[in-house]
């Protein structure tokens, strides 16, 4: 599977493209199978209880032993199914095509779990603190998502604005907390930027949102009972990487860097 011309045009025009059914059922099932096999180890260590589902096991571990839950979470990114997908042909093909290079950098993939009891939401942000200024991110829900239950929200075409600086834009969206969305909404309420409205795509498990560095994106809280499991991976270009050009550069470009001047 690869992107067609229409998809590539959409990606450049809007800053992202949605590819339906990008992760197949078989791949999703394998991820859940491996996560469940792994969570059974801490679970069996603390309980003899019978569980109805993987979600139930995860929430139980979260409640009974937050540290072991975090240990499980830390190791999900090293599961072979997760790593394999990040370097699978279809992901690499898309990454290489969009970054226009035969050589790209694979960042560590990750799994994200959002659950109802934790009303975490990630305010909209640009994808800073990466290795290159040119980054392709894959946001792939492993369960169905929509506006009502919570999911991803993006502002199409905002990548054309380049790197925007505003109050606290020199820190991560997570550290800036809830105030960040208000700041972003305020910026886009101004006359000139009013046209950049957020969209909240409805996605089935396995549909991929593939987006570039500067398009504003974030996630809304999960309001449903089931956990919102998401697969996230990124490719960085070998170009526009300060780390390869300046001996004093850090591996990741700092949040407070002048991104518009990175060449
Ligand atoms: Fe992001």
CA of 102 to the centre of ligand 1 (A): 24
Cα of 48 from ligand 1 centre, angstroms: 39
The Å distance, Cα 215 to ligand 1 centre, comes to 9
CATH class of the structural domain 5-23+102-261 = mainly beta
Q: How far is ligand 1, taken at its centre, from the CA of residue 45, in Å?
A: 35
Distance 217 CA to ligand 1 centre (A): 6
pLDDT in tens, the chain (263 residues): 678 999 999 999 999 999 999 999 999 999 999 999 999 999 999 999 999 999 999 999 999 999 999 999 999 999 999 999 999 999 999 999 999 999 999 999 999 999 988 777 899 999 999 999 999 999 999 999 999 999 999 999 999 999 999 988 888 888 876 789 999 999 999 989 999 999 999 999 999 999 999 999 999 999 999 999 999 999 999 999 999 999 999 999 999 999 999 99
Q: What is the pLDDT of residue 1?
A: 64
**Where does 74-143 show beta strands of DSSP type E?**
104-106, 110-114, 122-125, 135-141
Distance 177 CA to ligand 1 centre (A): 14
> How many Å lie between the centroid of ligand 1 and the Cα of residue 31?
22
- Ligand 1 centroid–CA 218 distance in Å is 6
- Domain borders along the chain are 5-23+102-261
| Cα 17 to ligand 1 centre (Å) | 15
Closest CA to 123 of 186, 163, 176: 176
Angle at 90 between CA 80 and CA 85, to 5 degrees: 15
Please give the Cα distance from 73 to 35 (Å, whole number). 9
């Amino acid at each position: 599977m690869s992107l067609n011309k229409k998809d590539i045009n959409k990606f450049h025009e809007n800053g992202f493209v949605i590819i339906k059914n990008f992760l197949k059922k078989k791949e999703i099932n394998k991820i859940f199978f491996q996560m469940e096999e792994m969570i059974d180890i801490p679970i069996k260590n603390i309980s003899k209880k019978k569980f109805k589902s993987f979600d139930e096991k995860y929430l139980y571990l979260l409640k009974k032993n937050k540290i072991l839950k975090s240990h499980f979470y830390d190791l999900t990114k090293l599961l072979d199914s997760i790593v394999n997908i990040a370097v699978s042909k279809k992901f690499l093909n898309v990454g290489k095509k969009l970054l226009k290079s035969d050589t790209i950098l694979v960042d560590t993939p990750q799994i994200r779990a959002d659950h109802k009891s934790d009303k975490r939401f990630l305010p909209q942000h640009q994808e800073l603190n990466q290795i290159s200024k040119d980054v392709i991110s894959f946001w792939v829900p492993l369960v169905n998502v929509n506006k009502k239950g919570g999911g991803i929200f993006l502002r199409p075409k905002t990548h054309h604005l380049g790197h925007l600086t505003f109050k606290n834009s020199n820190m991560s969206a997570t550290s800036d907390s809830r105030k960040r969305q208000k700041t972003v909404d305020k910026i886009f309420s101004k006359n000139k930027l009013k046209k950049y409205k957020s969209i909240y795509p409805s996605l089935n498990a396995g549909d991929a949102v593939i987006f570039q560095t500067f398009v504003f994106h974030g996630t809304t809280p999960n309001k449903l009972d089931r956990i919102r499991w998401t697969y996230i991976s990124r490719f960085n270009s070998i170009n526009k990487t300060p780390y390869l050009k300046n001996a004093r550069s850090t591996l990741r470009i700092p949040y407070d860097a002048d991104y518009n001047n990175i060449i």
